[in-house]
Structure 1
């Protein structure tokens, strides 16, 4: 993995994170740097971020494990 890609996985622009919302619940999202995902606890879904671009489609989201969804 290149240095640029590692940096990309490590963070997301905070301003972008403020603007984005879960397309299903319209609620806020949390950044999971370890998995490069935007997490919607209310929807129980994690949206992937590919090459720095959030994929905000429910059909592309990964269901959260029940334990992670409860912890929020």
Structure 2
């Protein structure tokens, strides 16, 4: 994932910062507890494509 792209990407819902989880190839919004997938190197920033972050899963 390009570092410059990571610097400008924000959560599409709350406009908050995203955490990049390299091992899982995903972006996480802590505020909304949503996980956005990265498919073929492209972040999928759609709410419908995101999964909810379970309470027991730490960020």
Q: Alignment partner of 1:60: what SS?
A: coil
Match of 1:65 in 2: 54
1:23 is aligned to 2:41? no
Between Structure 1 and Structure 2, whose CA radius of gyration is higher?
1
1:13 is aligned to 2:13? no
Consecutive unaligned residues of structure 1, counting only runs of 5 or more, are 1-11
Task: Give the length in aligned residue pairs.
Answer: 59
Q: Alignment partner of 1:16: what SS?
A: helix
**Which structure has the highest strand share of the two?**
2
Distance, in Å, in 2 between the alignment partners of 1:35 and 1:51 is 13
Aligned-residue RMSD, C-alpha: 1.1
Q: Alignment partner of 2:48: what SS?
A: helix
TM-score after normalising by structure 2: 0.91
Runs of 4+ more than 4 Å apart: none
Consecutive unaligned residues of structure 2, counting only runs of 5 or more, are none
Shift of 1:14: 1.1
